[in-house]
């Protein structure tokens, strides 16, 4: 009985926390930020002027200051891993520094996100190969990336901005 009450209270607190996080997000615009803490569904918790560049904004929020749509198909949520708020962005898997790493996606599933700092990608990727990876899920050797990698619908201009941001990561 006591455990049941504790579990119920925990579930209520977590539900309220998730709802308040989701309702506190806002559609951001502008440029400037440092780390990627606070990304939630459909927007940015950083607000206007939070990012130094459009590429940084795209990386952390999957939104563009141009107002263009950046959507995706597939990715971890389609393979059973639910992202908080249902929204993914590069930072969701590759981390605030672009270094990627292993993520537990449930009891038995692990995802290994690639290090996508441009200095690491460059020996194998150029802008076109990167576009094919992001849009088509195609590795430079022509094989398909794992389904954990979302297939993004992103304009060439926004993709160029994203690459410019990845080039700034140490």
Cα–Cα separations (whole angstroms), residue 78 to 13, 61, 81: 27, 19, 7
The pLDDT value recorded for residue 3 is 53
The pLDDT value recorded for residue 88 is 86
Torsion over CA: 54, 47, 24, 96 (sign): positive
Can you tell me the distance from the alpha carbon of 47 to that of 33, in angstroms, rounded to the nearest whole number? 10
DSSP H helices, 50-117, are 54-61, 90-94
List beta partners, residue 76.
none
For residue 48, the 8-state DSSP code is: T
**Residues in the chain, pLDDT under 50:** 6-44, 79-85
The pLDDT value recorded for residue 48 is 59
Contact 167, 52 (CB under 8 A): no
């Amino acid at each position: 009985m006591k455990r049941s009450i504790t579990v119920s209270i925990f579930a209520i607190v977590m539900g309220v926390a998730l709802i308040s996080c989701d309702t506190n997000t806002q559609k951001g615009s502008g440029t400037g930020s440092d780390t990627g803490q606070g990304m939630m569904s459909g927007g940015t918790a950083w607000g206007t002027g939070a990012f130094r560049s459009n590429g940084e904004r795209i990386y952390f929020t999957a939104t563009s200051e141009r107002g263009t749509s950046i959507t995706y198909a597939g990715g971890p949520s389609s393979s059973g891993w639910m992202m908080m708020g249902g929204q993914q962005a590069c930072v969701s898997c590759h981390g605030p520094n672009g270094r990627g790493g292993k993520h537990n996606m449930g009891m038995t599933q692990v995802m290994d996100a690639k290090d996508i700092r441009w200095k690491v990608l460059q020996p194998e990727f150029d802008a076109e190969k990167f576009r094919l990876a992001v849009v088509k899920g195609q590795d430079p050797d022509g094989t398909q990336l794992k389904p954990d990698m979302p297939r993004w619908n992103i304009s060439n201009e926004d993709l160029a901005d994203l690459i410019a941001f990845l080039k700034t990561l140490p």
